[in-house]
Structure 1
Amino acid sequence: MGHYVTLATCNLNQWALDFEGNRDRILESIREAKRQGASLRVGPELEITGYGCLDHFLEGDLYLHSWEVYAEILEHPDTSDIILDIGMPVMHKNVKYNCRVISYNREILLIRPKLSLANDGNYREMRYFTPWPKARYVEDYTLPRFVQNVCANESAIVPFGDCVLSTKDAVIGFETCEELFTPQSPHIGMSLDGVEIFTNSSGSHHELRKLNTRMELIREATAKCGGIYLYANQRGCDGDRLYYDGCAVIAVNGEVVAQGSQFSLDDVEVVSATLDLEAVRSYRASKISQCMQAANSPCYARVTCKAELSPSSVTFDSEVYPTPTREIRYHSPEEEIALGPACWMWDYVRRCRAAGFFVPLSGGIDSCATATIVYSMCVLVADAANNGNEQVIKDARVVTGDPDFVPTDPKELCNRIFHTCFMGTENSSKDTRSRAKDLAAAIGAYHTDLNMDSVVSAVRGLFETVTGKRPIFKVHGGSATENLALQNIQARLRMVLAYLFAQLLPWCRGRAGGLLVLGSANVDETLRGYLTKYDCSSADINPIGGISKTDLKKFIAYAEHKFDLPILNDFLTAVPTAELEPITKDYVQSDEVDMGMTYDELSVFGRLRKVEKCGPYSMFIKLYHEWTPRLSAEQIAAKVKRFFWFYAVNRHKTTVLTPSYHAEQYSPDDNRFDLRPFLINPGFSWASKKIDAIVKSLETKKKED
């Protein structure tokens, strides 16, 4: 008969430096794993400190506090009789490592440092940690004295290094996050040396359409090598731009048997499965080529543990049986936009203890998308409250300032915490004003409406008084310089008014506290620099700052039906416009006309520039093959040059970007993700000459043909 083991992994919403809160969530996950009958519990990467501590990882206090918290977990009565795989930073021989600490019944069995560090994109792990360079090598680590006093170890020395754990009935090996993504992942060598259970503790962030990559790597790891794979992940906003998207999973022999949620307001989620070790052994033994490699594979040091993972008393009539396989669950990109930024915003507002959010609602699709995401957040909170989530109810009472409030109705919650304002001028249309008002009413937001012409006129008049010059718009005969300056007056005054209203609207409603101002500039506008520095794109946080205009439109179409908001269709069919210039019978300002490129083209430029690492020359070559004959070589060259010109001259704007939810691989965020200079020669003269030469040769060849 089979050899059944019940194992648990989890999603935890940890918060950077929240040692006590992180400890309590770890303890709750251990209790829940035991309630589900698990003999092994795996947690996320750096779960004691929170993954996103950044330069706090350089502080010695953090390593001291990590061991102090670990000691409290170790001696807690609820942590007995289960193998614990817990993530924390450890200093060994004055070198900082990102580690897994493995224990059983208060005995620390081994410390396994991370071998391959994430050091690109959003990650800078080598700024804080050193990768363990010695494969299959173990050293002695002396436990801190106060840890020695609480642990059950006979010696103060524990193994530190690349080793595996041997229980009475199975062998367990350990990976950490990035190691799964490397070409020579540790699970390959471990599987050849007889390791049957692999754990992976991760701090992996959400990006649109990214989950399938992670899930396929997990599935393929066990399809190729055989074995049981337990993946744990952090979930939530732990203090920065990233949202860690959970989705803890258990796979065996290439099939998924358990999957946690990707987006949720639950701080602790444990998933478990019962698996048959004999199925792993049979799967491997049937592959002769794998057996031949295994027979010649170098060995890992094995640390022994007295625990047994499977009950010895299982019989045919036992209720213990293997968990069936299941299909992997993926959200559509539209659902990801509705859920990811909403969960991120809830974590942000509840942890900073603001009184809610404020959005300058323009009547355009970007601020509409921001408002709709806030409403999606309110729906999630209401659903969680209706399901009895006490933590969500407690947090909602703090945010609303009402100790008796139960957020069961999303529109009521939205009215309490979400404030919108249409900041109109003489350049605003009736359509945008009415769309803003109708959307606010549909979602329940507390809406205000104002005309700011007197404020704009006062600033304009001040300049005229000081200089004797009166700038006028281009449609009235003014220069491009005057036209831009007059637009920027309106845009920047909106930022000033946004912060004024965000601070005082709760006071007007008899509430304490202030509101978080939300930005609503999308990733494409930021890439092109089509925004005013320090205008209403400058805010506290921006839920759509990493999302393309194309995806935002698809999200609005989805949300119209998902949330029963017919008003959203009016935003979809409206022409995108900033409404910063006067409207005449012959002229209405259009974003795409102003930019000289479409939003779809901007998405293509962004991916080629960032993801495929293209400069102007290689971008032109790629687009020539993709866009001809729809466009001529000369037209493509002009578009590429125009994009890089405006990208370069506006790069300085990215240095002051509002912290945005990271959702897209081509985000131009200069503060964390896209480390390029902000003073660049916008002509790219060398590349431009090479492009011109190719265009000329193609034209010559065309004439000859």
Structure 2
Amino acid sequence: MSSLSLALATVNQTPLDWEGNLHRIISALEEAIQQNADLVIFPELAITGYGSEDLFLSYWYPKKALDQLNKLIPHCQNTTVAVGLPYRMGEKVYNTMAIIEDGELLGFVAKQFMAIDGVHYEFRWFTPWEANQQVKVDFFGKEVPLGDLTFTKKGVHYGFEICEDAWRGEARPGYRLCERKVDLIVSPSASHFAMGKTLERKKLIEDSSRMFDCYYGYINLLGNEAGRMIFDGESLLAKSGKILFRNQLLSFQDYQVNVVQLEEKEQEIAEIRSKEWEFTQATSLGLFDYLRKSKSRGFVLSLSGGADSSTVAVLVAEMVKLGLQDLGLQRFCEKIGISDYEKFAKNPEKQLVGTLLTTAYQGTANSSQDTFESAKSLAESLGAVFHHWTIDEEVASYTAKIESAIGRKLTWEQDDITLQNIQARSRSPIIWMLANLKHALLLATSNRSEGDVGYTTMDGDTSGSISPIAGVDKHFILHWIQWAEKNLNRPGLAKVNSLQPTAELRPQERTQTDEKDLMPYAVIVEIEKLAIRDRRSPMDVFLILKEELELEEGLLKSYIKKFFQLWARNQWKRERLAPSFHLDQFNVDPKTWYRFPILSAGFKEELEQLEQL
């Protein structure tokens, strides 16, 4: 086998950005050619972007993707290129990799297995290809093969497992490729980011290279492509069960090209970072791409001084810091539409945070001085604009109108939820005004635990253009802000970390706390993992957790009952949450991970059986 130089080229693409997508592919290809790459591999669906959704079902969209491929081919001289795109045959659409060599299209390799779990819905758009089958198709007057194909470059026999193909155990194409004695298998992917997922990929690539006795390469898409899913741009190469190359994840660049040699020696191997680092980097990149792709001019945040809104504020500041580190001042500003970048030269990070992040503390008679000081000191430490005002006048106006209509005074004893909610809702119109004035994205601050049980005011704290932390649980958030204070050098979090989480919607003498209203956040996490991630019944959840948690059985039953009842009752809220990032092993967004009926009997029979146990 000859020595072969392999380029793993990741790109940050956007659906319908035909010119931009093609430009990034060509730019990455030119860089790979400059580095003398023999074979350049781009990710799955790189021409269109993976997140094109129902556009894949149209007739014109796959056709236009072929037009873009035809424009790319002249740039593929003196090298071989593999790039992903959809291919329509009659009523069926296939997910394919086009293989181009020296300016000629050699054929299309079609994906054999569709991802249908979690955030994936590929069977809606694509038809699986049958193993060992090939057909001839027309490409602008030239007949080329499409199907289960392999190729040879400089004596290296290579084939593909396109993303989900590699995860299908004994059915995966790799076994058939092994029988064909390939020297190299490459997995071009659009694999969504999740904290800790890189460890699963590493094991898959190591095991695959050992099982199939070949080099095994992997290349993923990059960035927040279409709003919810974030791709980490991971590139890997392994042989004989050993990783030879791994890049660092989650770059802010438009593309990255990593050229590796098919040699059994370690090349560059980036360290695998902690989940806290991954969360910070992924969410910061997600916010950066959402900002620039939506063509917004910044962010507005209702900063309460509590853990959730403070986390979101720090993530925006980290977006600026990490983006500057990766791109430099001029390129960072250009990508978000700021031309006069020189004015930020004195103190780029704080000056840019002050330009991009506007916060407001919206107090009531039930707010404390502690949370005000927490919000103010954090905003100042980050460099964010900080406003503060009270909304008691607005709350009083709404309340008076209702009292007049119903002919009685509202009281905390009789109207607790109503009096809490009107405060949260009264904050929303004012903060939206600020976002509109600044042409900015309004950041919602709900977390996943609140989404589980509906502990959030609809059209209040759920209001927003994007909800950055809705994909992670409150227990993780409370841990992360402790970590961030020290590891990200964010001393402004000190006051936040000294406070107990509370909505501050009841009078202070009623000593409201989140966990008093609900249950300990650590318990919510354990219940949701079993109930939502693993789809267990209430009885299963109880039988498992009674062995794992040191809780009295009656109390544990009450927590489980409360969780399932609130989960079922509040599906309508989850249907209306702002778009959020997928960051963990699972999320509760019904549009991307967990579908549940809006109307149901609320686990009535299952919870009765639990009570009788």
Same fold by TM-score, threshold 0.5 exceeded?
Answer: yes
Q: Which amino acid aligns with 2:392?
A: D
- SS of the equivalent of 2:522 reads helix
Contact in 1 for aligned 2:447/2:470 (Cα 8 Å):
yes
The equivalent residue for 2:560 is: 640
The equivalent residue for 1:172 is: 158
The equivalent residue for 1:698 is: none
Contact in 2 for aligned 1:250/1:272 (Cα 8 Å):
no
- SS of the equivalent of 1:449 reads strand
- SS of the equivalent of 2:478 reads helix
Distance in 1, Cα, partners of 2:277 & 2:189: 23
Q: CA deviation at 1:672?
A: 2.2
Distance in 1, Cα, partners of 2:277 & 2:152: 42
Runs of 5+ in structure 2 lacking a partner? none
The equivalent residue for 1:601 is: 523
Q: CA deviation at 1:101?
A: 0.6
Contact in 1 for aligned 2:586/2:593 (Cα 8 Å):
no
Q: CA deviation at 1:352?
A: 1.3
The equivalent residue for 2:584 is: 664
Alpha carbons of structure 1 residues 59 and 391: separation in structure 2 relative to 1, 3 Å: farther
Runs of 5+ in structure 1 lacking a partner? 149-155, 280-322, 507-513, 695-705
Q: CA deviation at 1:438?
A: 0.5
Q: CA deviation at 1:169?
A: 0.8
Q: 1:533 aligns with which of 423, 439, 458?
A: 458
The equivalent residue for 2:137 is: 141
Distance in 1, Cα, partners of 2:306 & 2:153: 61
Is 2:393 the partner of 1:454? yes
The equivalent residue for 1:618 is: 540
Q: Which amino acid aligns with 2:184?
A: I
Distance in 2, Cα, partners of 1:238 & 1:391: 19
The equivalent residue for 1:439 is: 378
The equivalent residue for 2:607 is: 688
> Identical aligned pairs, as a percentage?
29
Distance in 2, Cα, partners of 1:137 & 1:619: 45
Q: CA deviation at 1:404?
A: 4.9
Is 2:513 the partner of 1:590? yes
Contact in 2 for aligned 1:17/1:49 (Cα 8 Å):
yes
The equivalent residue for 1:254 is: 241
Distance in 1, Cα, partners of 2:351 & 2:28: 32
CA displacement, residues 543-562 of structure 1 (integer Å, 9 cap, x when unaligned): 11101112212221222123
Q: Which amino acid aligns with 1:350?
A: R
Is 2:293 the partner of 1:351? yes
Contact in 1 for aligned 2:14/2:49 (Cα 8 Å):
yes
Distance in 1, Cα, partners of 2:16 & 2:239: 35
Q: CA deviation at 1:689?
A: 3.4
The equivalent residue for 1:307 is: none
Distance in 2, Cα, partners of 1:539 & 1:68: 38
Is 2:497 the partner of 1:572? yes
The equivalent residue for 2:194 is: 207
The equivalent residue for 2:424 is: 491
Contact in 2 for aligned 1:260/1:270 (Cα 8 Å):
no
Q: 1:363 aligns with which of 295, 301, 305?
A: 305
- For residues 113-512 of structure 1, the aligned pairs below 5 Å read 113-132=110-129, 134-143=130-139, 145=140, 148=141, 156-183=142-169, 184-276=171-263, 323-325=265-267, 327=269, 329-386=271-328, 391-396=331-336, 398=337, 400=338, 402=340, 404-405=342-343, 409-473=348-412, 478-479=413-414, 482-504=415-437, 506=438
- SS of the equivalent of 2:507 reads coil
Distance in 1, Cα, partners of 2:270 & 2:342: 40
Q: CA deviation at 1:391?
A: 4.1
Distance in 2, Cα, partners of 1:337 & 1:622: 29
- SS of the equivalent of 2:161 reads strand
The equivalent residue for 1:295 is: none
Q: Could you list the structure 1 runs, at least 4 aligned residues long, displaced by more than 6 angstroms after superposition.
A: none
The equivalent residue for 1:283 is: none
Distance in 2, Cα, partners of 1:651 & 1:231: 38
The equivalent residue for 1:20 is: 19
Q: Which amino acid aligns with 2:110?
A: P
CA RMSD of aligned residues (A): 1.7
CA displacement, residues 438-466 of structure 1 (integer Å, 9 cap, x when unaligned): 00000000110101111111111111222
CA displacement, residues 510-548 of structure 1 (integer Å, 9 cap, x when unaligned): xxxx11000111101111110011112221001111011
Distance in 2, Cα, partners of 1:195 & 1:550: 47
Distance in 1, Cα, partners of 2:344 & 2:52: 33
Q: CA deviation at 1:406?
A: 5.4
Distance in 1, Cα, partners of 2:528 & 2:411: 34
Distance in 1, Cα, partners of 2:473 & 2:117: 22
Contact in 2 for aligned 1:15/1:239 (Cα 8 Å):
yes
Q: 2:442 aligns with which of 517, 521, 524?
A: 517
Deviates more, 1:93-102 or 1:42-51: 93-102
Q: CA deviation at 1:93?
A: 4.0
Q: CA deviation at 1:409?
A: 1.6
TM-score normalised to the size of structure 1? 0.84
Distance in 1, Cα, partners of 2:399 & 2:599: 30
The equivalent residue for 1:288 is: none
The equivalent residue for 2:66 is: 67
Q: CA deviation at 1:625?
A: 2.5
